[in-house]
Every structure is written in C-alpha cells, then in structure tokens.
Structure 1
Amino acid sequence: MDITRKDSEAQALLMQFIRFGMTGGFVTLLGIGVYLLAAMQFDVLPFVANVLAYAVAVTTGYVLHSRFSFRGHGRRDNAVRTTGRFFIVSMVSLALNSLFVWVLTGPLGGPDWWPTIPMLFVTPLVTFSLNRHWVFA
C-alpha cells in the first residue's frame, strides 16, 4: 500500500470520526437532555429517565448515523442485518449508561447529573468503534 492511499484512508477515517462526533454529540446531548429533564424536572426515577432517554436517542441516532456519520462506509445491502446490529450496539450503550446511573447515583450516592460525565466521554468512544467495525462495516 502506498503512502498516498494510507493518507487517503486516514483522512476518510478522520472525516468519519468528525461526522460521528457531530452526530453522536447531538444524539448524546439530546439523550442527556431528556434524562436530566425527566430526572430533575419531572422527578422520574433516574433509571426510568435513562430508559426514556435511550428510546429517544436510539431512534434519532440510527437515522443520523446511517445517513450521515457512516455514509459511504461499508455495505448497505442488508438493512435487517445493519438495523439488528445497530440495535445490539444501542443496547450496549444503554447497558453502559445504566451502569453509570446505577453506580454513580446508587452505591456512590451522587447527584443525578453525575452519570452524564461518562455518558458523554466513555459511551461515545465505545459505540463509534462498534458501529465502524461491525454495524456499518
């Protein structure tokens, strides 16, 4: 493989990561917003608020990631496979965020906003990797 091709692939990966960051950032902030609104304004239990936020974020995320973040990447010949895999990755995301909510607001007794920190910094990195290498590959 020549250097020009490596540079081109690296640039494509960088652009994809930037698109994912923009889209994922929006979806993450939307989910966090729904979570905080439900948990802090409407006094919904944090775990229930997280599930509600997940439902909003996963629906929005699938549409935006498939059409923008990972456009032109991989095959799209099997929508059922791609959708199923996206759902599995979103369940990983829900499990991670639920773990953060449980640990940080339960045993550690922190305020309802504490889980938003790993939701913002840890979960997106995990889901980018899974989406790039498995869902939209």
Structure 2
Amino acid sequence: MTALLERLEAKWGPGVLGQLVRFGISGGIATGIYAAVYSPLAKYEVTTPFVANLAGYLVAMLSGYVMHSRWSFRGHGERGNLAKTGSRFFAVSLVSLGLNSLFVWVLTEDSMLDGDWWWPLIPIVFVTPLVTFALNRLWVFK
C-alpha cells in the first residue's frame, strides 16, 4: 500500500491522496444530489430518463463546482482566475454529462439493453467520478 501511495505522489505530485479523499467525499455528495434528482423523475416517469439525467446533472454540477473549488482541491494550483477554472470545470462537467448520458442511453433505451431506471447509477457512481477526478486534478485546478 505504501508503494502505491509513493507512486501516486511521484506521478501526480504531493497531496494527491488528500485531494482524492476530499474529491471522493465531495463527489459522493454531488453524486448523491444527482441521484436524488434523477431517481424520482425517472422512476415515477415524471419525465424521460434523459431529461431526468439533465436535471440531475445541472444541480450536481453547480454544487460540485462549489465543493471542489473550495474544498477538494484547496491549496492546489491557482484560484485567481474564476473564469478560467469555471469554464474548464464546465467543460469537464460536460464530459461527465456525456458519460452519464451514454450510460443512461445504453442501459435504459428500448433499442439497447432496455434495463431498469437504476442500472445507469452503477457506472455513474463508479466510473464517472474517476474520470472527472483526473481531469479536474490535471487540467481544471492545476
């Protein structure tokens, strides 16, 4: 375990483990917010899974930016240019939206796997956060 941590810090720089833990907590909260918005809209067919996904994305993106910029990546990189970090965060969140939309489409669409409304939550919780951590750490909050 120590060797893995040393390799992580050698490749990504000091403090990456703390950032990863904070990102996991913040991202978990943002993902929970996403699921709290998406789930009732999709489960009770208030709207389509795609519209529910977009609604969850918008709420999670706004809360995620606040948490990640103020806590997850605190002490890492420059914070002087809100327009730069904000626009980059928005771009990364579009990647997140694209991934989540892909998961929703493949797993719930009639012409694809035609799964239950909750199937996309599995990759949304376990895959998307890892991709967005790497992009946020290496590009947004560098």
- Give me the TM-score of the superposition, normalised by structure 1: 0.91
Amino acid at match of 1:49: A
Amino acid at match of 2:53: N
Segments of structure 2 that go 5 or more residues without pairing to the other structure are 1-5
Q: Secondary structure at the match of 2:119?
A: coil
- Per-residue CA distance 1:87-111 (angstroms, 9 max, x = gap): 0000000000000000000110000
- Per-residue CA distance 1:27-52 (angstroms, 9 max, x = gap): 01110121101111353210000000
Segments of structure 1 that go 5 or more residues without pairing to the other structure are none
Q: Which moved more, 1:53-62 or 1:37-46?
A: 37-46
Q: 2:64 aligns with which of 53, 61, 66?
A: 61
After TM superposition, the structure 1 = structure 2 runs for residues 1-137 of structure 1, keeping only pairs within 5 Å, are 12-106=15-109, 107-137=112-142
Q: CA–CA distance in 1 between the matches of 2:46 and 2:24?
A: 30
Q: CA–CA distance in 2 between the matches of 1:70 and 1:83?
A: 14
Identity %: 55
Amino acid at match of 1:25: G
Higher relative contact order (CA 8 A, sep 6+): 1
Amino acid at match of 2:118: W
- Per-residue CA distance 1:63-121 (angstroms, 9 max, x = gap): 01000000110011211110000000000000000000000001100000000000000
- Give me the TM-score of the superposition, normalised by structure 2: 0.88
RMSD after superposition: 1.7
Q: CA–CA distance in 1 between the matches of 2:105 and 2:74?
A: 35
